[in-house]
Amino acid sequence: MTAGSVAAQGLVRLPVWRARIVLAALVAAFAALLVRAVYLQAVKTDFLQEKGDARYSRVLEMPATRGRITDRHGEALAVSTPVKSIWAIPSDVQLKPTQRKSLARLLGMGTRELERKLAEPEHDFVYLKRQLAPETAEAIAKLALAGIYEQREYRRYYPAGEVTAHLLGFTDVEDVGQEGLELAYEQSLGGRRGSRRVIKDRLGHIVEDVQSIRAAQDGVDLTLSIDSKIQSVAFAALKAAVERHRAKAGALVALNVQTGEVLALANVPSFNPNNRANLTGAELRNRVITDLFEPGSTLKPFTIALALESGKVTPQTTIATAPGRMTLAHYTIRDVHPAAALTVTQVLQKSSNVGAAKLALAMPREALWDFYHRLGFGTAPQLGFPGAAAGRLRAYRSWRPIEQATMAYGHGISLSLIQLARAYTIFALDGELAPLTLVKSELAARGEKLVSAETARAVRAMLEAAVQPGGTGPRARIVGWRVAGKTGTAHKQENGGYAADKYIASFVGLAPVSAPRVIIGVMIDEPAGGYYGGSVAAPVFAEVMQATLRLLGVPHDAPLEPLERPGALDEPREST
């Protein structure tokens, strides 16, 4: 057989050494793969896990539902509504020009702004838009864009808008309290966010729920002492008064005497917490709690109460006030209605500065300071509200006679409206100073006893006389209920002195006199034209008090007969 025939029959043999080389190469390759696999699986486990997690594993935040804020009757004042936020992984985003335009339009931004947000490949997470309406988020989802995802969140909504804005405050884009009660009760309202680990595919779909890292805990609801109906009446009346008198601002607070609850707290100007664009600092200030002012004649009842408590005078004691002025240290104290002599009751009814000053000068200055201090002046009220002001009450050792005299009628001391209204609880509770609360309470207020029941009732009777014809506050009277209260008019402090043509008009009163249920304090800042508390603030008090007593179902203690109102020529005025 020839060599050619052998080759044709496939009987040619390869050299043994070639086969061995091929086998050795294959064995070496498999060995290398095995070593590499062992190395990666055993040594480089963390590295591989990290790379895998970076591509497919995601930790999703599980938002907690923020607790609701309601009024005392359960009406919602602040709720959290579900919204969607759109986010992206920049390195995964690949958009065509038409897709980019469509996405930018739905997000409410320009294409350049969108490109800037997406031009961050080193970041694997970037928000494109927060808190979108669900329908807008759904339209974006229908585009099915790679690298674009949505996340469920919550947005705070305030049904009453500007009516309760200063009391409630607001939250930021993360639904965290920033102002007001939203900030004060953040820990309980906010709850605790949860998180879970999932596996996502390249399209962003969750293909496996790996584990729950932390369960979400929803916030706790907060029930306020506020009555939303009284709040609405108070805000509307205050806003109308500020506009009518072309005033700079106004504030009002209503208190439940029996429980110390704040029934209404209103400020003007206000703001819409659902749309806070272009806000100013003046609009954000809660003037009831944070703004300080000299109370003027609304402080006279306390001077008289201390004088009665000392036993040096009675309501019928006569005070020589002629000729309607007195001079101390080159400073002259004047009365608007000069009289030769006034009883202590008439000093309050006619709002005599001279009479109040003489009563104050007849008492030790430390006794006056101690009484003011125990009333809460110079101390921040314990309301749990951020930024509550303490006011200014100087140490008595630095008082000069003129300062002791002027402090008797509300000059040289500064306090907030809520401090002033709270102090009037001693006349409503027969001498007890009630603690206040912004949270609903069914318990009767238990406060410190500052004066005797006899003294408190005597001053209450004087305050009722002050709103009768001949007093400074007849416009505070209402049909069906007896009212007691005091007007106040004070020059505003400015540049270390007092502005000649800028005033604070105020009124604080209670009703019904026979069994006090409500205290209301009103302050109007810089009214134009008429500026006396009796003509500017007292009518606001009357409107809100009448509505409040009606809403609370308080029994009448006065005839249901029309009241005679003072005319323009009989404008109630008190000394400033």
Nearest to 289 by CA among 149, 180, 427, 160: 180
Token pair 């070593």 is at which residue?
A: 35
What burial letters (b/e) apply to 3-24, b meaning 16+ CB within 10 Å? eeeeeeeeeeeeeeeeeeeeee
C-alpha Rg value of the chain to the nearest Å: 37
CA 50/CA 192 separation, integer angstroms: 28
Longest dimension (CA), the chain: 160
Q: Which residue(s) pair with 490 in the sheet?
A: 504
Whole-angstrom CA distances from 250 to 68, 202, 239, 396, 411 are 28, 59, 8, 31, 20
CA 267/CA 282 separation, integer angstroms: 11
Nearest to 294 by CA among 421, 422, 410, 419: 410
Question: Is 90 in contact with 121 (CB distance < 8 Å)?
Answer: yes
Q: Is 297 a catalytic residue?
A: yes
Question: Is 303 in contact with 360 (CB distance < 8 Å)?
Answer: yes
Nearest to 288 by CA among 336, 251, 233, 335: 251
Question: Is 226 in contact with 73 (CB distance < 8 Å)?
Answer: no
Nearest to 237 by CA among 566, 567, 540, 469: 540
Token pair 């793969």 is at which residue?
A: 33
What is the token pair recorded at 165? 């804005």
Out of 297, 441, 506, 535, the active site residue is: 297
* Beta-strand pair 325-328/249-256: unpaired
CA 426/CA 406 separation, integer angstroms: 22
Nearest to 549 by CA among 91, 104, 233, 139: 233
Question: Is 273 in contact with 165 (CB distance < 8 Å)?
Answer: yes
**DSSP-assigned letter for residue 221:** P
Q: Which residues are catalytic?
A: 297
